[in-house]
Amino acid sequence: MKFLKLKKDQIEDFFDSIHSFGIVYAPVKSDGKISFRRAQNFSDVSLEYTRSQIPPKHVILPMEEPILKFREEEYFEVVDDENKVLLGVHHCDIIAFKMLDEVYLQPPKDIYYHERIKRTLIIGLSCIPDNYCFCKATNSFYTSDGFDIFLHDCGDFYFVRVATPRGLKVTENSKNLFEKVDEKDMELFVKAEKERFERVKGKNLWMIGDLIELRDENFWKIFSERCLNCGNCTLVCPTCQCFEVYDELEEDLKSGNRFRRWDSCMLRAHGLVADGHNFRERTEERLRNRLSCKLGEMRCVGCGRCTVYCPTGIDILEIVRALKE
């Protein structure tokens, strides 16, 4: 790990320099919401944000993507080979990528995800926590890996951690922008991280998987009565990985394209199988399954998106408190 310093008045020059690596995606504000979009001008970028509505995973794992072209018995994969830069990714979303890696990079490796993640330069950014953040409770407040470069806001400058050879190459290509850190810079970095830590709420959520399994159906009915089965919580979740695959045939009925798109375990159709059987027919069953996945297996990073963007205000921490009580 190498430590450097980047003055804030140099951040635009740094933004311009990283375009030489690939297409830059950054937090952009539109209609009051932050989303990671292709950013060509620094004036479009909003680095001072708490959370994006849709997590940056869509750059690596698109909501919908072609994966095959086929004709009768022949087919070939459609693989994205563009270099990309993800600028401004928070700790929790970086850790979410590490969780997705555990799914998509295990044998058999997902070639579409693997090709994108290896071609993407990830530049992290310290966050501005609010009352919905509970990353401290999920041990997702800070990460030492999973990124190439990390920028910590320390007032007048960014304290920079360089974690990979690729990140080092990027900083060396723009070495006129970076300075060496001294003891005072290190102290300001530690102070800024401590203040950020103190703003995040939530107690440790580990080891509550058994509590989820012990609760009966009536417990889950209380919370599911407010659920619209809209799937919003899974749409905005940075660690959800469910998808469905479908084909679109050409007029000759012999050739076509195969696509995959995000799916949601909170939708009724997700549990529908042959002969019309549904192994999660009721809302309470789907809610329990989702919470078991997120908190039983601890695939939650405490970003707060599912609570913020739930149209009926279902709070994941409210469910946790009820479980513990």
Q: For residue 261, give the nearest of 2, 29, 58, 41 by alpha carbon.
A: 58
| Average confidence score pLDDT of the chain | 92
Cis amide leading into 66 (omega within 30): no
What integer pLDDT is reported at residue 217 of this predicted model? 79
pLDDT, mean of residues 64-84: 91
| Residue 212 and residue 308 in contact, taking contact as beta carbons nearer than 8 Å | no
Residue 97: exposure state from Cβ atoms within 10 A (0-12, 13-18, ≥19): buried
**% of the chain with per-residue pLDDT over 70:** 97
Measure CA 213 to chain center.
Answer: 27
Of the chain, the end-to-end C-alpha distance in Å amounts to: 43
Which band of pLDDT confidence, cut at 50, 70 and 90, is reported for residue 298?
A: confident
Residue 253 has pLDDT above 80, yes or no: yes
Give the C-alpha separation, 243 to 301, whole Å. 20
The domain segmentation of the chain, as residue ranges, is: 2-199, 209-324
* pLDDT tens, position by position, 203-225: 666 556 667 776 777 888 998 99
- pTM for the model stands at 0.93
pLDDT, mean of residues 175-191: 95
Give the C-alpha separation, 240 to 232, whole Å. 12
Among 14-23, 31-40, 122-131, 205-214, the least confident range: 205-214
**Tokens for 53?**
């509505």
What integer pLDDT is reported at residue 207 of this predicted model? 58
